[in-house]
Structure 1
Amino acid sequence: MRIDKFLKVSRLVKRRTVAKELADQGRIKVNGRVVKSSYDVKVGDSIEVGYGTRQVKAKVLDIRETTKKAEASELYEIVD
């Protein structure tokens, strides 16, 4: 699954277009490397998303095409 779609499905980012823009601006890192929106996410990847002054770090636990809002947090684990 593409990184922009994963961020939207997991509700880490509200909209896929916003996730794509973040990737195009170089604000998304996977395993320490800046990636484009077409990057293929795998279970176990470590994702860092930069929102202005805030950095969110998460580890991918599961990948699903769709998910309900209540189950979205099961797809990742926040890492400090």
Structure 2
Amino acid sequence: MRLDKFLKLSRLIKRRTVAKDVSEQGRVWINGREAKPSSTVKVGDELTIQFGQKLVTVRVELLSESTRKEDAAKMYTLLKEEMNKRDSDFLL
């Protein structure tokens, strides 16, 4: 499944166009490598997404072509949520 579609269906990002823009800006990594919107996501992959100053790491658990809102969270497991160290230095 395409990265931008997974981010939208899992509701990690609300809109597919936003998911596309975020990954084009180099703010999404799959298994430690920078990912493009068309990158393929597989079950077991670890995604790291930069939301402003926050880094969120999730593991892909399920791929589905469509999903209901209440089932979207089953598509991934939250592994880590942390402040981006580079940006947090400016907050002190």
Structure-1 separation of matches of 2:49 and 2:69: 20
Other structure's SS at 2:22 match: helix
Q: Give the deviation of 1:3 after TM superposition.
A: 0.2
Give TM-score scaled by structure 1 length: 0.98
Question: Which residue is equivalent to 1:21?
Answer: 21
Q: Give the deviation of 1:36 after TM superposition.
A: 0.5
Bigger radius of gyration: 2
Question: Which residue is equivalent to 1:41?
Answer: 41
Give TM-score scaled by structure 2 length: 0.85
Q: CA RMSD in A?
A: 0.5
Pairwise mapping of residues 32-71 of structure 1 onto structure 2 (< 5 A)?
A: 32-71=32-71
Question: Which residue is equivalent to 1:6?
Answer: 6
Other structure's SS at 1:74 match: helix
Question: In structure 1, what residue type is equivalent to 2:12?
Answer: L
Any runs of at least 4 consecutive aligned residues in structure 1 with deviations exceeding 6 A, and if so which? none
Identity %: 47
Structure of greater relative contact order (alpha carbons < 8 Å, 6+ residues apart):
1
Runs of 5+ consecutive residues of structure 2 not aligned to the other structure: 81-92
Runs of 5+ consecutive residues of structure 1 not aligned to the other structure: none
Q: Give the deviation of 1:68 after TM superposition.
A: 0.4
Aligned length: 80
Question: In structure 2, what residue type is equivalent to 1:25?
Answer: Q
- After superposition, the C-alpha distances for 1:11-66 in whole angstroms (9 at most, x for unaligned) are 00000000000110000000000010000100000000101111111000000011
Structure-2 separation of matches of 1:73 and 1:23: 20
